[in-house]
């Protein structure tokens, strides 16, 4: 998930939990374990993009695809290895 992290030390420059900080701030894609660490260590974390939102959008797009297109894609995938051997 994309986040802005602010260090409890205002002018901190360095790496913490594999995230590079400059002037006490960082913007990075972080994991749940990194989020847990930052919150427990007194960092302020602002989530910009949640992975759940991204997954939900993907599922909606998959559900909107007509069944015929899905079937055609499966046939095309199976046909490719046969034509490559010739």
Q: Does the pLDDT at position 11 exceed 90?
A: yes
Residue 11, SS3 per DSSP: coil
Picking from 53, 7, 4, the residue whose alpha carbon sits closest to that of residue 29 is 4
Picking from 54, 32, 45, the residue whose alpha carbon sits closest to that of residue 4 is 45
Predicted confidence band at 12 (pLDDT cuts at 50, 70, 90)?
very high
pTM of the model: 0.58
Write down the pLDDT at residue 81.
Answer: 52
Distance of CA 54 to the CA centre of its chain: 8
Write down the pLDDT at residue 26.
Answer: 97
Query: pLDDT tens digits, residue range 25-81?
Result: 999 999 999 999 999 999 999 999 876 654 544 444 445 545 555 455 454 444 455
Q: Are 43 and 55 in contact (CB under 8 A)?
A: no
């Amino acid at each position: 998930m994309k986040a802005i992290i602010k260090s409890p030390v205002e002018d901190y420059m360095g790496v913490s939990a594999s995230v590079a900080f400059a002037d006490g701030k960082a913007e990075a894609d972080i994991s749940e374990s990194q989020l847990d660490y930052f919150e427990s260590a007194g960092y302020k974390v602002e989530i910009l993009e949640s992975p759940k939102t991204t997954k939900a959008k993907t599922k909606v797009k998959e559900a909107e695809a007509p069944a015929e297109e899905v079937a055609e894609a499966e046939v095309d995938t199976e046909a490719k290895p046969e034509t490559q051997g010739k």
